Structure 1
Amino acid sequence: MPYIDVMLVLLIIFMATAPLLNLGVDVNLPQSSAQSIKADVEPAIVSVGADGALSLTIDGARTPSSRDDVVQRVQAFVAAHPDAAVYVAGDARASYQTVYDVLSLLQTQAHVPRAGLMSMPGGASTQ
């Protein structure tokens, strides 16, 4: 039974050395006086309904809008707030093509530099 003796010795060695192992890497991060990014303006949200209908939310006011109206109002919003983001909130039942078309519309015609998609956190209720 010498194998059992060898295994016990190895077990004791590993148990003794395991706490000595450095599991992380020490990193000295550079210091900066920069402040964190803060959004001064709420983002504009273009909502795409299940039937493809659009509505635009700017400054908390949600209004049904046509594609041309969305382009004009978002252009004005981006001109007034160049650092603000514009998000597309597509209904889960809306076609992917419709949501993609709205995102493309924002980038090509409304010239939005920061357009993105919104989503619900996992496990959140959609009601």
Structure 2
Amino acid sequence: MLGPFNRGGRRKPMGEINVVPFIDVMLVLLVIFMITAPMLTQGVQVDLPQVASEPIDPSEDSDPINVAVESDGRYSIWVGGDEPREVGIDEIAERVIILLERQPGTPVMVHGDRNVPYGQVVTLMSTLQTAGVSNVGLISEPPPGEN
């Protein structure tokens, strides 16, 4: 009498897949990604305050370098009370380097329109970081009624 696995000398094809090797591979990949993922994160280093923000004291010796990202994606730069001048993202780094060589330690303030994509502000801050700016201030307006 022939059994279910012995039909005429041929083996019956198995209808199940052994998933244990796949599980082993997935666990190894999970461990590898858990170890390497924290090493791959990139970011712009920003010195954030640890307390409620206070207005900036205007009695500082040097006027800040102001860089703005407008709602349509254009960039502008100016110092103190000067008129804003429209520039490209590449020109911002050059101008900031020149201004910081003249007066090291000059604060740099970023004015970002609320409708600007987050990526453009990050690109601007990264450009400032490559220009040698170690501390970037983000300008905001107080909510209505809080003056």
TM-score calculated relative to the size of structure 2? 0.55
Counterpart Cα distance in 2 of 1:75 and 1:121: 31
Runs of at least 4 residues of structure 1 off by over 6 A? Answer: none
Q: Any idea what the Cα deviations from partners look like across 1:42-72, whole Å, max 9, x if unmatched?
A: 1011100112110001242310001121111
Structure of greater Rg: 2
Counterpart Cα distance in 2 of 1:78 and 1:66: 18
Counterpart Cα distance in 1 of 2:103 and 2:123: 23
Task: Please state whether the residue corresponding to 1:61 is helix, strand or coil.
Answer: coil
Aligned residues of 1:57 and 1:63 also touching (Cα < 8 A): yes
1:99 paired with 2:124, answer no
Task: Please state whether the residue corresponding to 2:137 is helix, strand or coil.
Answer: strand
Counterpart Cα distance in 2 of 1:114 and 1:82: 12
Q: Which residues of structure 2 form unaligned runs of 5+?
A: 1-58
Q: Which residue is equivalent to 2:134?
A: 113
Counterpart Cα distance in 1 of 2:78 and 2:114: 18
Q: Which residues of structure 1 form unaligned runs of 5+?
A: 1-37
TM-score calculated relative to the size of structure 1? 0.63
- Give 1:1-127 correspondences, 5 Å limit: 39-59=60-80, 60-108=82-130, 110-123=131-144
Task: Please state whether the residue corresponding to 2:84 is helix, strand or coil.
Answer: strand
Aligned residues of 1:103 and 1:116 also touching (Cα < 8 A): no
Q: Any idea what the Cα deviations from partners look like across 1:11-52, whole Å, max 9, x if unmatched?
A: xxxxxxxxxxxxxxxxxxxxxxxxxxx521110111001121
Provide the identity percentage.
31
